[in-house]
Structure 1
Amino acid sequence: MPNEEVDAERQSAGGWAKKYYFATRVVMEAVLRPYDVGPTQWYVMHQLMTVGPTSQRDLGRMLQIERATLTGVVAALVRKGLVEQKPDATDQRQKVLTATPAGAALWRELPDPIALILETAFDGIARVDIETTTRVLRTATSKLANLFPKGNGS
């Protein structure tokens, strides 16, 4: 007889949110692999191509990734010639990232993995259901983030 407690946990909203997250990562990786771009690299390129030059510090906050992780991602993009990293004009200690012409050219070729994910995952699901799910997960995430905010000494 299966363990009903474990099975119920797997069927929870949190369990399904985790499964959805992992499934989206698989799709993103599969779509981007032929272009030698990883998901986090894609998010960096998305920011630079849709918003423009961005400070590396701000990018880390936006993507909610550790500084060391972002440093490696940026280094790979610079090494590939897709991103340029320059000192900030007002604070030389900070770096500003800009897409290179090669980065812009690659961006035009890249399929949009997020569009594919949304089209596939939510096809046939009523908009009101998607909005409810989004609202519930946003509220739950906010409550949990506020339970132990960073820097509270816990």
Structure 2
Amino acid sequence: MANNQADPEHQSAGAWAKKYYLATRVVMESVLRPFDLGPTQWYVMHQLMTVGPTSQRDLGRMLRIERATLTGVVAALVRKGLVTQTPDAADQRQKVLTATPAGAALWRQLPDPIALILQTAFDGVPQRDIETTTRVLRVATGRLTSLFPKGNES
């Protein structure tokens, strides 16, 4: 078949990378739903709980999400009382995000969805295979990102 993408049995590395990504999203959403958190909210909380207060602009770059998307995620976390948003001392136009005591308390209760995903997905897989997969996907991603660098700034 000339166009493998039309083939329902498409087995390329890219197709499997996408299937893996989608499966991890399902697991994350299922694990976090009882705590009224979504995956992006979890990543914001992870940053704030493991690194500490972070500028909203930097967080958007780290998570590679659009400013408008992050604004909505942060607004939800603020509304839930899990995060505070304060003006940056150096630039009042920028906002710094900090976990609240309620956010820290919730964080201590949360199961780690990433640990669950890694344990489940890679149980019994030799470490060298995981390292090879990671290296191949890192190189491929870097090559694709450099192909159109302007499209990868979000």
TM-score, with normalisation over the residues of structure 2? 0.94
Q: Give me the whole-angstrom Cα distance separating, in 1, the residues matched to 2:34 and 2:125.
A: 30
Residue aligning to 1:132: 132
Q: CA deviation at 1:10?
A: 2.0
Q: CA deviation at 1:28?
A: 0.1
Q: Secondary structure at the match of 1:90?
A: coil
Residue aligning to 1:144: 144
Q: Which residue identity does 1:58 align to in structure 2? A: D
Q: Give me the whole-angstrom Cα distance separating, in 2, the residues matched to 1:110 and 1:63.
A: 20
Q: Secondary structure at the match of 1:10?
A: coil
Please provide the CA RMSD for this pair.
1.9
8 Å contact 1:9–1:15 — kept in the other structure? no
Q: Give me the whole-angstrom Cα distance separating, in 2, the residues matched to 1:140 and 1:50.
A: 29
- Number of residue pairs the alignment of both structures matches: 151
Question: Which shows bigger deviation, 3-12 or 117-126?
Answer: 3-12
Residue aligning to 1:104: 104
Q: Secondary structure at the match of 2:17?
A: helix
TM-score, with normalisation over the residues of structure 1? 0.94
Q: Which residue identity does 1:52 align to in structure 2? A: G
Structure 1 unpaired stretches of 5+: none
Q: Give me the whole-angstrom Cα distance separating, in 2, the residues matched to 1:3 and 1:106.
A: 51
Residue aligning to 1:15: 15
8 Å contact 1:83–1:99 — kept in the other structure? yes
Q: Give me the whole-angstrom Cα distance separating, in 1, the residues matched to 2:138 and 2:2.
A: 30
Residue aligning to 1:33: 33
Residue aligning to 1:58: 58
Paired residues for 1:63-102 under 5 Å: 63-102=63-102
Q: Give me the whole-angstrom Cα distance separating, in 1, the residues matched to 2:145 and 2:111.
A: 33
Q: Give me the whole-angstrom Cα distance separating, in 2, the residues matched to 1:11 and 1:34.
A: 34
Residue aligning to 1:113: 113
Structure 2 unpaired stretches of 5+: none
Q: CA deviation at 1:7?
A: 3.5
Q: Give me the whole-angstrom Cα distance separating, in 2, the residues matched to 1:4 and 1:116.
A: 36
Q: Among the aligned pairs, what percent are the same residue?
A: 82
Q: Which has the higher contact order (CA 8 A, sep 6+)?
A: 2
